[in-house]
Amino acid sequence: MKIHPLEKLNIWRQSLVGQLLLRFWVCHIIFFTLIGAIRYTSLKNSLYQSVEQNLLSDYYAIRNSMGSWLSSSEFPPGRFSELRPGNFVAFYTSDHQLKSIVYSYGKANSTVPNLSRSQLQFDLAEKARSGGCFIFEDTDEQQYMLMVAPVVTNQLSVNSLPLEQNNDIQPYAGYALIGQPLAEQDLILSRNLRGYTFNAIIIILLSTFFTALVLQKPLEPLLNISYTARKIAAGRYDLRLPYMNKTASEIQQLREALNHMLGQMENALNTERSAKNRMARFIADASHELRTPLTSIRGFLEILQRTGMTDKETLDAAHQTMLIETERLIRLTEGLLTLNRIAQEEINSDHSEELNSGLHDVLPELMPLLAPLLKDRTFRFNGQDFRTIDDFVSEVLDTSQVLPLKPDELKQILYNLVNNAIQHTLSGGTIDILAKSENSRFILSVKDNGEGIPAEDVPHIFERFFQGDRSRSHGKGQGSGLGLAIVSELVYLRGGEIRVESTPGEGTSFTIFFPLVLVKNDSLMTQSN
């Protein structure tokens, strides 16, 4: 698409180079205008002062003869050498009547203005009293420097007094109007002004050209920033502005600020993209998990309604299945509510009383819930077997480890980890809970010697609804895959860390790390890294 020249000019004017050059031109024009005005005024004053000196010199050259020319029949010659070339003298009677004009020696001056009484735009007597020179412009727009001097009959007074005091002598025999055309001076001023303007334009054009060249290097980083920004806007969010040598500190600060902003933006976009993906997967998995038990319950209800079976064995089987699926729905709903509650809380690493709970607080209440699930599996705490729950509870009560968790949160973490270990450990297997302090950290581990986790599933083990082999999991009557996700969210929320190590066929170990919190003498002591 062809761009109109005016549009190109507008684009250039709005660019940084255009803005700088426009301001450059404005500054230079103002600068040259001021310098030119001062120079023109100085030259004009100098030329006009020279003309004034010429007129004064001419006056002193002829003042001795002016009285006799007006008071007798003796008339001045038409031209004479006392006047400077180009100057003239007009003599007027006391009633302002032009009597004669004297030219400088040589050819009669053709530039003498019309000096008849009707054409004079000033009063001779007033000009004579005021003294000094003044500018006169005739009907042809020609300028002259004029000086009016009185002609007196008292020759002694005229010869002995300066010009400015002659004006006070009465009576006047007439007036002498001495003038010089300013054409030569105006020509000099005009030529000087044209030359100065031409030189100023040449200087501005050359300085503009060189300034535009010089600006390319400092502005090159900005052009690179603009080029990179367009790439980033096109979707290349991984790009960063490179380090630029020998650039202005402001541009370096801009580069650092933009790179920081780009990093934050990329993290935000990745987080948003990841959140969208997780949400989409979460919705799909949640829909699937909710649909399965609901479909099972509806199927049994439709069979019972359609067939009208009334025998106790069939009804018990249907009721038992619907009860299992209902409990599954309840667990799924509770898990979703728990995850939603965790997501709404802020990360809290403060060890207040509300967030301090120990194994001795929760394991005595948790073991009666886990005992029916253990069956013939061995349960050990810190490597020691326990035959009865009472022995186990008494051993746990002797521990002093405290974690930055609420009692319900610690109970849920342990229940989910131990229940997960039970579900993946065959009969006769062993489940260990290990608790120890090491390097200012409290370490809590739940290990089993069960079937283990495939290596490709380990990175996804804490994702919501992840169950690995779903068909096998559902066949065992396991949960919906929210247990480990809840554990991970709770640990992260309270400033801890959880890791998983697993070897297929040998077992799995979940290890939780928390800053060390010990209870001694009914007071809390907190140690953190």
CATH number at residue 358: 3.30.565.10
Q: Residue 430: is its pLDDT beyond 60? A: yes
Q: Which two tokens stand for residue 527?
A: 């140690």
Q: Pick from 330, 310, 308: which is nearest to 479 by CA?
A: 330
362 and 476 both lie in a single domain: yes
Residue 39 lies in a domain: no
The pLDDT of residue 519: 44
Q: Residue 475: is its pLDDT beyond 50? A: no
Q: Residue 81: is its pLDDT beyond 70? A: no
The CB-side HSE value for 240 (13 A sphere, CA atoms) comes to 12
393 and 456 both lie in a single domain: yes
More confident residue, 388 or 246: 246
Residue 174 has phi, psi (to 5 degrees) of: 170, -160
The pLDDT of residue 75: 58
373 and 470 both lie in a single domain: yes
Residue at a domain's end among 279, 310, 344? 344
- Number of compact structural domains in the chain: 3
295 and 388 both lie in a single domain: no
Residues 68-84 as b or e (16 or more Cβ within 10 Å = b): ebbeeeeebeebbebbb
The pLDDT of residue 117: 61
CATH number of the domain where residue 95 is located: 3.30.450
Mean pLDDT of 277-292: 73
Q: How many other CB atoms sit within 10 Å of the CB of residue 336?
A: 18
370 and 320 both lie in a single domain: no
The pLDDT of residue 73: 55
Kindly indicate the confidence band of residue 131, based on its pLDDT and cuts at 50, 70 and 90.
confident
> What pLDDT, in 10s, does the model give residues 247-273?
777 777 887 888 888 888 888 888 888
387 and 502 both lie in a single domain: yes
357 and 478 both lie in a single domain: yes
163 and 74 both lie in a single domain: yes
Cβ atoms of residues 453 and 499 within 8 Å: no
167 and 258 both lie in a single domain: no
Q: Which two tokens stand for residue 37?
A: 């005005």
Residue 275 lies in a domain: yes
Q: Residue 350: is its pLDDT beyond 60? A: no
313 and 409 both lie in a single domain: no
Amino acid symbol at 269: L
Q: 3-class SS at 477?
A: coil
Q: What share of the chain is helix, strand, coil (3-state, %, to 5)?
A: 55, 15, 25
**Average model confidence (pLDDT) for the chain?**
77
| 208/200 Cα distance (integer angstroms) | 12
List the Cα angle 327/331/337 in 5-degree steps. Answer: 140
The pLDDT of residue 400: 58
Name the pTM for this structure: 0.47
The pLDDT of residue 39: 92
Q: Residue 477: is its pLDDT beyond 70? A: no
Q: Residue 214: is its pLDDT beyond 90? A: no
Kindly indicate the confidence band of residue 411, based on its pLDDT and cuts at 50, 70 and 90.
confident
Residue 53 lies in a domain: no
**Domain span holding position 440:** 348-526
Q: Residue 423: is its pLDDT beyond 90? A: no
Cβ atoms of residues 135 and 214 within 8 Å: no
